Structure 1
Amino acid sequence: MAAMIMMKRNARIALMVLLTAGLWLALKPTIGNRRLTFLPVRWSEYVDFMDFWFNLGAFGLLGITAWLAFGTKEKILSRAFVMVGIITLLNVLLELVQTSIPGRAVDMADLWAGLLGCVIGIASGLVSQRLMNGRHPNNAVPQVLFLDQTGRLGGAELMLLDIASARAADSEVILFHDGEFRAALESAGVKTRVFRLGDEASAVDRQAGLSRALRCVPGLVDLMLRIARAARSFDVVYANTAKALIIGGPAAKLAGCPLVFHLHDIVADGHFSALNRRLLIFCANTFANAVIANSEATKAAFISSGGRAERCVVIPNGFLIPEVRSTAADIESRRSSLGIPPDAWIVLMAGRLAHWKGQHVLLEALQAMPDAHAVLLGDALFTDEDREYARRLHVQAAVPALAGRVHFAGFQSETLPFFDMADVVVHASVFPEPFGRVIVEGMLACKPVIASRAGGAAEILQHEHTGLLVEPGNARELADVMMRLKNDPKLAADLAQNAQRTAHDTYALHAVQAKIEAVIRETACCENEQAPVAETTAQIRQAA
């Protein structure tokens, strides 16, 4: 398939050369009834005498090159008619323009030669394409270039780690920053390179305005060109974040590569500025052949912001289900290292320290539960705003009502013992969460989970069956629900067991990987077609 992409790119270059040469020749004045004055007189007169056959051959060459450059394996007749119509229209316009050139007039023979040559050329291009497809079967494993903007291990990166690890022999990952993510990929056998994004561009976050965005343009263009050169060796480009799409979309187009965009964010106020929303949707509609949304809420926000529904399919995050959980010794070691008393009732909240994640809501609710301890697993990963929020959380945790009961565990590469030692897992986002990875991790750990009733979280949990849902930002309701679970161990155990069974059935990694691989293969198969997802969505959902 990489050979097919290379063929299309070379054909487009050849097409530009042919059009330039053809225009020059068609509009060149005649001298003594000779157009090809650079040839000897006898040869030039012979070419002019064979004008019909010369035009037939020229338009045949133009037709075959045009088909190899822009042909399709689907809707063949409609694409062929469009190409014939465009080329014939250009031929008619040229004949009309030629009437203003001394010694030239409209020649109907030239028009018929152009039409016939174009049809023969496009038919020949179709045959050539079929022959090449026979030598490069579509069931070959496509080579994928994955793009991600960060070197840190967030939820989107953990998902990419699982996807890339499963196809390490046929893929490569380019990161825009170095960090523990690169080390994790390389440990999994995935070839990884870092194309560092400049400081100006790195400072542009989801809430950035126009002036900040414009200052980073030179650095972005340089990075796009580097990615485009790298992408020429691959069949598909896979952008795993919004910034990876904005940079990788034009790069994939330059390289002649189809692109899959994995959308892990809700495109709405609170998550993106108005400018960044418009830019993301424009790039998705312009460059992405397929969009994978991690929840129905994510898909709905994408469509309501202007994203094309026919390109979008929902595939939830997948999880490698551990065969062995933490030992009692591991759990006791974690408790001891955090300074948690052996008999304490533990609330775990895992995830990036950011205001929209709602750690402050949990701490406020915890004040109504004097015997409970909270573990905040995660760190301020990306922005100065996150780091300032983390500082405020430490101040909040130091008030007399919470002193000694809030434990900041920081970033941990091994999270299993933290989930296993918890009595309840809380997800308290104040804005709709795109998916809610930590919710599923809590379910797999057979823990009761409390989550905000918004976004992807409300799709994962069934209230009163696999978990409990509360209003976002409502600390009083969160405190009441936590107290309910603390005082009713049977309810907590029933919710946890139901949740674990559901998570095993729905979010097993191998099933999710199969659905994502189906999108990758369909995108590679369709090459530069713009709507591969619409035809395979039903098959993907059946695989779920």
Structure 2
Amino acid sequence: MKRFARILLLVLLVGGLWLALKPTLGKHRFTFLPFRWSEYIDLMDFWLNFGAFGILGATAWLAFGSFAKAFRLILLMTGFITLLNVILELAQSSIPGRAVDIADVWAGLLGCVLGIFSSMALQLWSIRKKADVTAPQVLFLDQTGRLGGAELMLLDIAAARAADSEVLLFQDGEFRTALENVGVKTRVCTLGEEASVVDKQAGLKRILRSIPSILELMLQIVQAARSFDLVYANTAKSLVIGGPAARLAGRPLVFHLHDIIADGHFSTLNQQALVLCANFCASSVIANSEATKEAFIACGGRAELCTVVPNGFHIPAQRTSAETMKSLRASLGIPSAAWTVLMAGRLAHWKGQHVLLEALKSVPAAHAVLLGDALFTDEDRQYARQLHAQAEELGGRVHFAGFQKETMPYFDMADAVVHASVYPEPFGRVIVEGMLAGKPVIASRAGGAAEIIQHEHTGLLVSPGNATELADALLRLQNNSAFASSIAHQAQQTAQDVYAISAVQEKIESVIRQVSGRHQPESTSSIIPSPCAA
């Protein structure tokens, strides 16, 4: 386009100069036209100048324009073309009876400006139309069929671009059903049994046994990725397998980091493998919190790859009715007037349900609901059994709700929400869900949770694993309803402003377009997130 515009600009300049200067050579009319036509042209000089310089300005912008330095370029082009117009007017003043016509200069200036802005508007319209038509096609990868926090985030991302994307899962399960229910095309390429049991704490021996199965899946991903513009790895395992596959397929990769890469979450070997794959295979790393980003960089991750985008949430127009909440309490066996604490999330030691049960001993009038189940490992299932044994000591004040697809009624039913992770958590989805429900939230002062909550303004923060501090915070909320209501209201407003799903989807879509090469750097750079600083 620019090459054609430059050729046309050259033709216009040569032709225009010839037409303008030819009368100065002695023949003061357009000799190739009948005399009467030439007189008419003289009378229409203002509008001819306006139109001619409008075409010249429009062509000049198409040939050399750039939105990156638009104001400076407009001034340069307008100044150059106006100077050329003045020189021509001075040259034409040598024609007998012809003086410098200031009106013609103004006509050229106005025509040039209008031509430039018309060309800019046409260019912007063309860019936006092309962007809508050529949205990048994305192959999303996720390791599990279960609905965890990372999967809920991917569900929203994929649903927003269901028309041009597909999700490839390494396991079948309710996640596939949820994706298909919102119109997302899904396929399952099952990971072999040896590889599927490799978790974040796996050692070298277990990893080596899983290699044949991993290679088989990797080849399937290579074949699938060739039909897409970009690969998007949503979990650590999907990065380790999908990253090299994207490289082999010649496709850029975005890695969505939902985990803090540190001891307690990953074995040393897995930390090294994860960071190596991200540095070598990923074009961009989306971290769900500053804590996640900082842990990634501390382990050797490249800071320039990283963009922080928090999880997004749907803000429902209506909450749960009083009758539904009453029925839910009755089904769980909770007295209607009992002050109730909700803790939601996978039953796993690092989530800290045992800390809440220990704290509950010092809050005798309170009941607790544990929403979630042991999802992934034998260690989780053993921990769940320990929790049931610990709950028996509290005389029926602990209620296990299990895994639930619809969680909002549980948040609305509770009087307070607790997040008690003993290790720094990357984000803390349940914290925001509690805030959106208008409930006071107590969270561990570590990781992403400490970024979400402002202590004593939008919630309370306690030391990780400290049951005494947690008990004191519970008693404070239980005994001071005005304070609890105040921080709950502030938290709800903050969550609605910061974590709305539409804003988060826009940021992630900007990263996808940037990495895929379908972004418009000159016209949309203002909405693309800046890379994280180290």
Match of 1:268 among 251, 258, 262: 262
For 1:278, give the aligned amino acid: Q
1:509 matched to 2:501? The reply is yes
The Cα of 1:539 is off from its aligned counterpart by 3.6
Q: Which residue of 2 aligns with 1:487?
A: 479
The Cα of 1:526 is off from its aligned counterpart by 7.4
**Aligned partners of 1:334, 1:382: CA distance in 2, in Å?**
27
For 2:499, give the aligned amino acid: Y
Go from structure 1 to structure 2 and tell me whether the alpha carbon gap of 1:512 and 1:298 turns closer, same or farther (over 3 Å shift): same
Q: Is the 8 A contact 2:257 2:286 kept in 1?
A: yes
Match of 2:358 among 361, 364, 368: 364
For 1:439, give the aligned amino acid: I
For 1:385, give the aligned amino acid: E
Deviation per CA, 1:52-82, whole angstroms, max 9, x where unpaired?
xxxxxxxxxxxxxxxxxxxxxxxxxxxxxxx
**Aligned partners of 1:499, 1:188: CA distance in 2, in Å?**
30
Q: Is the 8 A contact 1:313 1:537 kept in 2?
A: no
Q: Which residue of 2 aligns with 1:237?
A: 231
Q: Which residue of 1 aligns with 2:469?
A: 477
**Aligned partners of 1:173, 1:467: CA distance in 2, in Å?**
36
Output aligned runs, 1:136-535, within 5 Å: 140-399=134-393, 402-525=394-517
Deviation per CA, 1:398-448, whole angstroms, max 9, x where unpaired?
11xx12000000000000100000000000000000000000000000000
The Cα of 1:536 is off from its aligned counterpart by 6.3
The Cα of 1:537 is off from its aligned counterpart by 9.3
> Which consecutive aligned stretches of 4+ in structure 1 deviate over 3 angstroms post-superposition?
136-139, 535-539
Q: What value does the CA root-mean-square deviation take over the aligned residues?
A: 1.9
**Aligned partners of 1:440, 1:536: CA distance in 2, in Å?**
29
Deviation per CA, 1:423-476, whole angstroms, max 9, x where unpaired?
000000000000000000000000000000000000000001000000000000
The Cα of 1:540 is off from its aligned counterpart by 2.0
**Aligned partners of 2:400, 2:140: CA distance in 1, in Å?**
33
Output aligned runs, 1:54-93, within 5 Å: none
Output aligned runs, 1:108-127, within 5 Å: none
**Aligned partners of 1:194, 1:334: CA distance in 2, in Å?**
35
**Aligned partners of 2:399, 2:494: CA distance in 1, in Å?**
30
Q: Is the 8 A contact 2:136 2:518 kept in 1?
A: no
**Aligned partners of 1:336, 1:540: CA distance in 2, in Å?**
47
**Aligned partners of 1:526, 1:279: CA distance in 2, in Å?**
30
Q: Is the 8 A contact 1:148 1:176 kept in 2?
A: yes
**Aligned partners of 1:161, 1:153: CA distance in 2, in Å?**
9
For 1:518, give the aligned amino acid: S
The secondary structure found in structure 1 opposite 2:350 is helix
For 2:480, give the aligned amino acid: D
The Cα of 1:270 is off from its aligned counterpart by 0.2
For 1:306, give the aligned amino acid: G
1:540 matched to 2:534? The reply is no
Q: Structure 1: state its 5+ residue gaps.
A: 1-133
**Aligned partners of 2:131, 2:391: CA distance in 1, in Å?**
57
**Aligned partners of 2:286, 2:390: CA distance in 1, in Å?**
38
Q: Is the 8 A contact 1:485 1:491 kept in 2?
A: yes
Q: Is the 8 A contact 2:443 2:460 kept in 1?
A: yes
Go from structure 1 to structure 2 and tell me whether the alpha carbon gap of 1:306 and 1:526 turns closer, same or farther (over 3 Å shift): farther
Deviation per CA, 1:518-539, whole angstroms, max 9, x where unpaired?
0000000079xxxx9xx96984
Q: Is the 8 A contact 2:511 2:528 kept in 1?
A: no
The secondary structure found in structure 1 opposite 2:341 is strand
Deviation per CA, 1:237-295, whole angstroms, max 9, x where unpaired?
00000000001001111111100000000000000000000000000001000000000
**Aligned partners of 1:137, 1:312: CA distance in 2, in Å?**
28
Deviation per CA, 1:191-221, whole angstroms, max 9, x where unpaired?
0111001110011100001010000000000
Q: Which residue of 2 aligns with 1:123?
A: none
For 2:237, give the aligned amino acid: K
Instruction: Give 1 or 2 for the bigger CA radius of gyration.
Output: 2
For 1:181, give the aligned amino acid: F
Deviation per CA, 1:288-311, whole angstroms, max 9, x where unpaired?
000000000000000000000000
The secondary structure found in structure 2 opposite 1:409 is strand
**Aligned partners of 1:270, 1:372: CA distance in 2, in Å?**
31
**Aligned partners of 1:525, 1:352: CA distance in 2, in Å?**
38
* Number of residue pairs the alignment of both structures matches: 401
Go from structure 1 to structure 2 and tell me whether the alpha carbon gap of 1:498 and 1:311 turns closer, same or farther (over 3 Å shift): same
**Aligned partners of 1:494, 1:433: CA distance in 2, in Å?**
26
The Cα of 1:177 is off from its aligned counterpart by 0.5
Output aligned runs, 1:17-36, within 5 Å: none
TM-score (norm 2): 0.73
Q: Which residue of 2 aligns with 1:21?
A: none
**Aligned partners of 1:319, 1:338: CA distance in 2, in Å?**
27
Q: Is the 8 A contact 1:138 1:525 kept in 2?
A: no
The secondary structure found in structure 2 opposite 1:540 is coil
**Aligned partners of 1:165, 1:495: CA distance in 2, in Å?**
33
Q: Is the 8 A contact 1:374 1:406 kept in 2?
A: yes
The secondary structure found in structure 2 opposite 1:334 is helix
The secondary structure found in structure 2 opposite 1:145 is strand
Q: Which residue of 2 aligns with 1:115?
A: none
Deviation per CA, 1:323-357, whole angstroms, max 9, x where unpaired?
11000111011101100000100000000000000
Q: Which residue of 2 aligns with 1:92?
A: none
For 2:495, give the aligned amino acid: A
For 1:141, give the aligned amino acid: A
Q: Is the 8 A contact 2:510 2:527 kept in 1?
A: no
Q: Is the 8 A contact 2:140 2:233 kept in 1?
A: yes
For 2:414, give the aligned amino acid: A
**Aligned partners of 1:509, 1:541: CA distance in 2, in Å?**
19
**Aligned partners of 1:481, 1:283: CA distance in 2, in Å?**
42
Q: Is the 8 A contact 1:195 1:223 kept in 2?
A: yes
The secondary structure found in structure 2 opposite 1:373 is strand
The secondary structure found in structure 2 opposite 1:248 is helix
**Aligned partners of 2:190, 2:475: CA distance in 1, in Å?**
48
Q: What is the identity percentage for the equivalent residue pairs of Structure 1 and Structure 2?
A: 70
